[in-house]
Amino acid sequence: MSPLRRAVPLAAVLALVASVAPSSPPLVAQSGENVRYAAIVVDAASGEVLFARHADARRYPASITKVMTLYMVFEALAEGRIELTDQVTVSPRAASQPPSKLGLPAGATITVDDAIRSLAVRSANDMAVALAEHVAGSEARFSAQMTLKAQQLDMSQTRFVNPHGLPDARQLTTARDLAVLTRAIMRDFPQYYHYFGQHHWVYNGREYANTNGLLHNGPGYDGIKTGYTNASGYNLAASAVRDGRRVNTIVLGGRSTASRNAHVADLMNTAFEFEALRRGEAPVQMAQVFFEQRGFGIGGDIRLGDGPVAYAALDRAPAEGPTAAGSESDAVGTALVALASRPAADTANLSLTDRLNGGRAPAAMVPPAPARAAGPAPTPARPEPAGRWAVQVGAFRDREVAQGWLTEVNRRFRSQFRGTEQTVQTAGEWYRSRFVGLTEEAAREACEALGARRVTCAVIRPE
């Protein structure tokens, strides 16, 4: 079957792409000074973001690029444009690529199946170019199609100019976009996902070990891809399944292989701990807060030895001082994570799952356009506060996060807080999220309603 069959002319694809803005060694901390660092942790089934740090900042993908390369190859296989038994001829351009590489000379052939394994296990740059040429006729055409596909998947901050991830200042992505890609390749091509979990691969009498060290000794890990350049730092997209739940984690900009792997493992362990707790009876915090309590994302990007953030329990907590922290279960951390890693303004009203998958805001969340009127519209009177009691639903170290959580709680419990004032009060380094203007009875009833949905709160007496 001809590898040159293609539906979109190269000039058209390039024009569209041009319009897109684009005894182990000691562990080294990925501290706040590491400007290359970014991370995101996602529940693979729902798309819920459990933790995010710099998730929308542009970064270099390095060899995680090859996940998109293989997405394109898998799509060609699924559509019947190529077959696993096809012989791929290595061009002089492919053979000239720098390591890591398989090292086949120009003119040699390799099956599509083995070429795929060379990318997934060996991260072979020469075979990435060979596959690109086999699928699309040229590396340039294939790279343009990669960017087009990224846009179709709603990887809005991603641009590809090569299929291997070798250094190019134009090749950019974000941790969030790579999370979208990781879920997409599992969803769209589950029959091929096993390639990313192959521990070893033997070719021409030589055995190659997978570059993803967590596959070899981590519990439940089954994919997906590492990456490294001097500019990117040590990158890893990882996925693991425990107790029937799958979590995907993207870490970019690690300082070493060992510290990156340890950090990914810590994030994964925390995610599975959170998932287990919220399946139980006891209320748990919002996901992002749960991670922050363990030292992730506050003043640095992994635990730096200064202990977790001191969020206190809410039950019967006094109102004096930053003691109350919100928590919830069935839509954990929606507004919190959305604001902790805020993307472009035009997606600010999306839920976390919608934003991760590039969806549009549900109609209920998009304010309708105001109707035209012959004269100035009267300003509706704000309901008078019913009392002087308050309900506190969280205390955070970031004002935007505190305000965002207020907005989310109000959205989910409108009837309890109708007519109240939403306020963020400063207490030292903390920002309290409060609804003010309730009677004592209304405040206690509101907290009961939140508690029934496993969202903790505190009733605040008038001062």
Angle between helices 139-152 and 10-18 (to 10 degrees): 50
Residue 278 near residue 455, CB atoms below 8 Å: no
Question: Is 450 in contact with 457 (CB distance < 8 Å)?
Answer: yes
d(CA 95, CA 130): 8
Q: Compute CA 14 distance to the chain's CA centroid, rounded to the nearest angstrom.
A: 28
Question: Beta-carbon neighbour count of residue 367 at 10 Å?
Answer: 7
Contact at 8 Å (CB) between 50 and 274?
Answer: yes
**66, 101, 149, 225: the active-site residue:** 66
Sign of CA dihedral 167, 170, 176, 180: negative
Helix, strand, coil percent content, the chain, rounded in steps of 5 = 35, 20, 45
- 101, 118, 123, 329: the catalytic one is 123
Rounded Cα distance, 180 and 42, in Å: 9
Cβ atoms of residues 295 and 345 within 8 Å: no
CA pair distance 73, 179, nearest whole angstrom: 19
Residue 106 one-letter amino acid: A
Beta bridge partners of 430: 427
* C-alpha neighbours within 13 Å on the C-beta side of residue 31: 7
Tokens found for residue 9: 């002319």
Strand order in the sheet with 245-254: 49-53, 38-43, 245-254, 233-242, 221-229
Look up 149 and say whether it is catalytic. no
CA atoms within 13 A on the CB side of 456: 19
Three-state DSSP state, 33: coil
Active site residue 63: yes
| Separation CA 409–CA 357 (nearest Å) | 23
Helix 65-78, helix 175-188: angle, nearest 10:
20
Position 182, amino acid: T
Residues 66 and 229: their CA atoms lie apart, in Å, by 14
Is residue 225 part of the annotated active site? The answer reads no
Active site residues: 63, 66, 123
